[in-house]
Structure 1
Amino acid sequence: MKNKKLYILAILAIAFSSCKKELDEVNINPNAPEVAQPDYLLTGTTKATVDSYWGVTNNMNSSLLFVQHWAKVQYTEEDRFIYSNSSFTALWSTGYAQSIAGFNKIIELGDAQGNPNYKAVALVLRSWTFLLLTDAYGDVPYSQAGKIKQFVTPGYDKQKDVYYGILSDLKSAQAALDPAAKPIAGDVIYSNNIALWKKFTNSLRLRIALRIADKDPAKAKQVIDEIQAEGGAYIGSNSENAALKYDVSPQQNPVAASFETRNDYRISKTIVDKLASLNDPRLPVYASRTENPPQGYVGIPNGSTNSEASAIGLANSSKPGAYFLDPKAPAVILSYAEVLFDRAEAAARGFTTENAEDLYKQAITASLQQYGINGNDQITGYLGRADVQYDPANYKKSIGQQKWIALFGQGLEAWAEQRRLDYPQLTASVNTVLNGKIPVRFIYPGTEQSLNGQNYKNAVSSQGADLLTTKLWFDAF
């Protein structure tokens, strides 16, 4: 009797196993890969991150307004700093749910497939994502971020610790990047040129070293010394700029995509006036002529009311230049000009023995050439102006003003540098709602209060009130 029962159980087990196998086969999608592929993930995650960085919410509707590169010609509430705790969710949600999650998966796949270059490239791009997040919000989840199985509600790391953490990550990535190792696919930044990834990594380390230089100059110098000791090179020409090159619709630049259906934005009067006063040859690149005669370059004052902006009019004010409205316009992550400005500042601070003034002039030249301004007379004439000359007694003013011009369109980075260097000194409109102040951070998404409440409260207690006017750790002055 006992043997009979075992026989029946064996038959049932075989039948169940067969049925399960058939069901498993039925549930397989032949058009979808069972295992994530790092090349597809790298393309998709990179584009999602750059789209967010260069797009409407984090760039056009916030940081470009704060830094007075752009202004709003209608629906001007954001230009008057009227925001809610749902206004800044895009950078947070994209950064954590897509970017960091995606790059973490690529890091895993790089290990699993024995391809250190996938892992290192993903680590570089993840570090850049964390940099965007901490520059904007301050204290953010870093050490527990993306580890959903361990930390459903991740704690916030202090901004100082985030910067130090990503500097360590970038140093590791630099050591792992190997042009002689297995190639990678799906790379829409450098097309598997690992030597350029190594230059970009060092350039990003230099950027972060200067970000912390006012708070911890010893650490900043240590990072730069380490790069030099490693024999590392930086981005060395405009052809080596870290950028995503877009294509025609539906893969167009987010700026071009916005202008296909909306007409809310114009170039700011602040930068139009500055470029005009310098006779800067970048003015016709950065701004379009007005539609109505006399056709010229007319910026909208930041912080205009809806009625004030409407009185100037759509056809009597300048859109951004055709270069930026081109669907194929590249989204620049880090440029040669920025690297040269950074090297100039490092020299001015005594971190290196390079010539700060010479690097400053090279940086301006690189920015002009980035936009096709190559005439020797134009470049020499511009560099020779008294109001463009490098001032060693106030390097922050010289570098700050010219870097602000060179970073046009890169709202998040331009905003971070203007807060750090305090130049140019921008003035808020009387129509704004922050008592004459310009925002110095994004406020946390409201969902953090409801879904990660205790960690949110801990961050606010540590950093300060969750307000647009609460200065961040790196913003020393």
Structure 2
Amino acid sequence: MKNIFKLKYSISLALLFLTFSCDDVLVNEDPNGVVIDQLPPEVILPGALTVPSATLMSDMNELGNTMVATWAGNAQQVQAPYFTEFQYQLSTDFYSGVWDNLMARTGNLTQIIDNEYADNYDYFKGASKIYRAFYFQYLVDLYGDIPFTDIHQRGDLLFPEYDNQIDVYIALISDVNDAINQIQNTDSSSAITMGSNDVIMGGNMNMWIKFGNTLKLRLLLRISDAAQSNPDLQTILNTEFASLNNVDFLGSGENVTINPGYSDEVDRMNPFAETFGYDAGQFGNTANQTFSNLRAGPTTFLVEFLDGTTNSVSDPRLQRLYAPRSGQASIQGNTQGGGEQPSRIGPGLLMSPQQDGYIMTASESLFLQSEAVFKGLLSSGNAKGLFENAIESSFSRLGATIGSYLNEANNVNGIGWDGSTNKLEAIITQKWIDLGGTNGVETWIEYTRTGYPSNMPLPDITNRPNRPLRLLYPTSEYTGNSANVSVYNQTVDTAFNSSIFWDVN
């Protein structure tokens, strides 16, 4: 394993599979045709942005929602869904697509970053650095040490060494800083604009800067507890937080979304809608939903948390997150591994086959800002105001009417600001409600970091006394990069007792 504080960029293992298909949006290398090095960023960028997002919206979302008490399976189906997840049968094949897809499918971003083009592609390069850092943070958060210095060198380096997870985090923060500087300080008269090639921001570089600032805030908050016992890390944290005072973050209504032209066709729908909603041509036709689409529904814990049973506050977001199935008079939950039929995913999450995909929401940004101000890490802003703005943004995105919810929840411990003895608990619990369904993996990681929401039940069918803390390195690493991964000597127990560096609780 390497130690790196000044990292350069390169490749990783699964990149050997750089000839994957990606729904007409990823540039493939044809040994008989043009090589990717000769393609301009305008051709590479749409696929480079689109392909990793499909993993975020589907596999990572499903993984996170089943690892915390958000989603239950529909036990009325022929096959009991999520049996492996709820028994915590973690292995090297468990959600291995997260590693394989993120490692490989960020390779074209590195191609844009590293290639020396004759023209000024600073906007493309800066945006690619920010977007790549977004996914590599998740790789560290889920796996720990990862290859980073040696990533994406294709045939030049097939067996990348692993880098220390703390060092990768520091490098990602540096990448975001470099990206923002590159965007802000380039020669705008010669810089080639991204325009419609940018299927996320439409070429709006101010929004890329806000996204970068918000991502940097998330990176710093994630390591803030660990920094208290690491003087070098604390110094970096102090410097970087100082640089964030008075910058622009994603604000109300400024969701980071992606839409490369989703349509109501097989393999071209929004990945969330296609995975958890309806087959092509069947959108809204609940009678024809397939087993795959029907498998997810809310847990009893979540339903009772939102319908007022747990805390006497009825949360209108419940009716937007989920909807009754045929024969159900109200929204029903199921325990994880239980024998009931939970309600289905609702209209606030499933809107159309063409709906935008969410990368980072405005509400998440506002919750992050609220936490940073509350902890005294940011000096600008009002923690309670940001917290309530985040909840309002959550309601708005889901299409729920907020009514008197803020007033009713305000004095309730765990969900309201004034009534919560631990403000962090209120922030993370509200984030769990907000991102459940939209970004499940973020809720799992935040639970691991903070322990909130508290009192979440374990699945009925697990024999483990606690939730997993991480994923195991995948089979593809043991097959293609065995010398570098084998030194970690991981076993199944590693997923439950070997924490990521920021998990100090």
TM range (shorter): 0.7 to 0.9
Pair 1:303 & 2:337 matched = yes
User: Paired residue for 1:98, among 82, 86, 105?
Assistant: 105
State the match for 2:344 in structure 1: 319
Structure 1 letter corresponding to 2:314: N
State the match for 1:145 in structure 2: 151
Deviation at 1:393, TM superposition (A): 4.2
Deviation at 1:468, TM superposition (A): 4.5
Provide closer, same or farther for how the CA distance between residues 371 and 385 of structure 1 changes in structure 2, counting only shifts above 3 A.
farther
Decide which moves more: 113-122 or 242-251: 242-251
User: Paired residue for 1:182, among 185, 192, 200?
Assistant: 192
Q: Does the residue aligned with 1:324 lie in a helix, a strand or coil?
A: coil
Q: Does the residue aligned with 1:243 lie in a helix, a strand or coil?
A: strand
Equivalent-residue separation in structure 1 for 2:493 and 2:116 (angstroms): 40
Decide which moves more: 341-350 or 324-333: 324-333
Provide closer, same or farther for how the CA distance between residues 382 and 393 of structure 1 changes in structure 2, counting only shifts above 3 A.
closer
Provide closer, same or farther for how the CA distance between residues 445 and 28 of structure 1 changes in structure 2, counting only shifts above 3 A.
closer
Provide closer, same or farther for how the CA distance between residues 301 and 126 of structure 1 changes in structure 2, counting only shifts above 3 A.
same
Q: How does 1:68-467 map to 2 (within 5 A)?
A: 68-73=69-74, 74-77=80-83, 78-99=85-106, 101-109=107-115, 111-178=117-184, 180=188, 181-185=191-195, 186-217=197-228, 218=234, 219-228=236-245, 232-238=247-253, 240-245=254-259, 247-250=262-265, 251-258=268-275, 259=277, 260=279, 261=290, 262=292, 263-277=294-308, 278-293=313-328, 295-304=329-338, 308=339, 312-313=340-341, 317-326=342-351, 327-353=353-379, 354-374=381-401, 377-387=403-413, 388-390=415-417, 393-409=421-437, 410-425=439-454, 426-433=456-463, 435-460=464-489, 466-467=494-495
Provide closer, same or farther for how the CA distance between residues 79 and 429 of structure 1 changes in structure 2, counting only shifts above 3 A.
closer
Equivalent-residue separation in structure 2 for 1:34 and 1:215 (angstroms): 40
Provide closer, same or farther for how the CA distance between residues 438 and 465 of structure 1 changes in structure 2, counting only shifts above 3 A.
closer
Deviation at 1:432, TM superposition (A): 0.9
Equivalent-residue separation in structure 2 for 1:404 and 1:159 (angstroms): 25
Q: Does the residue aligned with 1:373 lie in a helix, a strand or coil?
A: coil
Provide closer, same or farther for how the CA distance between residues 94 and 378 of structure 1 changes in structure 2, counting only shifts above 3 A.
same
Equivalent-residue separation in structure 1 for 2:492 and 2:32 (angstroms): 51
Structure 2 letter corresponding to 1:369: S
Structure 1 letter corresponding to 2:382: N
Deviation at 1:98, TM superposition (A): 1.8
- Aligned alpha-carbon RMSD (Å): 2.5
User: Paired residue for 2:53, among 46, 50, 54?
Assistant: 50
Provide closer, same or farther for how the CA distance between residues 170 and 459 of structure 1 changes in structure 2, counting only shifts above 3 A.
farther
Decide whether the 8 Å contact of 1:214 with 1:474 is kept in 2: yes
Equivalent-residue separation in structure 1 for 2:116 and 2:405 (angstroms): 45
Equivalent-residue separation in structure 1 for 2:500 and 2:72 (angstroms): 25
Equivalent-residue separation in structure 2 for 1:416 and 1:220 (angstroms): 20
Identity of aligned residues (%): 25
State the match for 1:13 in structure 2: none
Equivalent-residue separation in structure 1 for 2:52 and 2:118 (angstroms): 24
Decide whether the 8 Å contact of 1:209 with 1:221 is kept in 2: no
Provide closer, same or farther for how the CA distance between residues 318 and 467 of structure 1 changes in structure 2, counting only shifts above 3 A.
same
Q: Report Cα offsets for 1:228-261 as digits up to 9, x if no partner.
A: 2xx53111221x2111146322322223212434
Q: Report Cα offsets for 1:57-112 as digits up to 9, x if no partner.
A: 3322x21101222122223312222243112221111112221x110111234744
Structure 1 letter corresponding to 2:136: F
Provide closer, same or farther for how the CA distance between residues 148 and 464 of structure 1 changes in structure 2, counting only shifts above 3 A.
farther
Decide whether the 8 Å contact of 1:139 with 1:459 is kept in 2: no
Decide which moves more: 416-425 or 68-77: 68-77
Equivalent-residue separation in structure 1 for 2:356 and 2:468 (angstroms): 27
Provide closer, same or farther for how the CA distance between residues 255 and 335 of structure 1 changes in structure 2, counting only shifts above 3 A.
closer
Provide closer, same or farther for how the CA distance between residues 33 and 64 of structure 1 changes in structure 2, counting only shifts above 3 A.
closer
Aligned length: 431
Deviation at 1:436, TM superposition (A): 2.1
Gaps of at least 5 residues in structure 1 are: 1-26
Deviation at 1:439, TM superposition (A): 1.5
Deviation at 1:28, TM superposition (A): 7.8
Q: Report Cα offsets for 1:407-463 as digits up to 9, x if no partner.
A: 122011111111112100222124114x221111111102212321221123448x9
Provide closer, same or farther for how the CA distance between residues 344 and 454 of structure 1 changes in structure 2, counting only shifts above 3 A.
same
Write 1 or 2 for the structure with the bigger share of helix.
1
Equivalent-residue separation in structure 1 for 2:207 and 2:112 (angstroms): 19
Decide whether the 8 Å contact of 1:88 with 1:444 is kept in 2: no
Larger radius of gyration: 1
Q: Does the residue aligned with 1:473 lie in a helix, a strand or coil?
A: coil
Q: How does 1:59-74 map to 2 (within 5 A)?
A: 59-60=61-62, 62-73=63-74, 74=80
Using the size of structure 2 for normalisation, the TM-score is 0.79
Equivalent-residue separation in structure 2 for 1:201 and 1:103 (angstroms): 15
Equivalent-residue separation in structure 2 for 1:33 and 1:292 (angstroms): 54
Equivalent-residue separation in structure 2 for 1:371 and 1:249 (angstroms): 22
Decide which moves more: 103-112 or 123-132: 103-112
Q: Report Cα offsets for 1:335-376 as digits up to 9, x if no partner.
A: 22111111111112111233222221221122112223355x
Q: Report Cα offsets for 1:137-188 as digits up to 9, x if no partner.
A: 1111111111235432111112211111100000000101149333114111
Q: Does the residue aligned with 2:431 lie in a helix, a strand or coil?
A: helix
Q: Does the residue aligned with 1:325 lie in a helix, a strand or coil?
A: coil
Using the size of structure 1 for normalisation, the TM-score is 0.84
Gaps of at least 5 residues in structure 2 are: 1-30, 75-79, 229-233, 280-289
Q: Does the residue aligned with 1:344 lie in a helix, a strand or coil?
A: helix
Decide which moves more: 161-170 or 219-228: 219-228
User: Paired residue for 1:41, among 34, 40, 44?
Assistant: 44
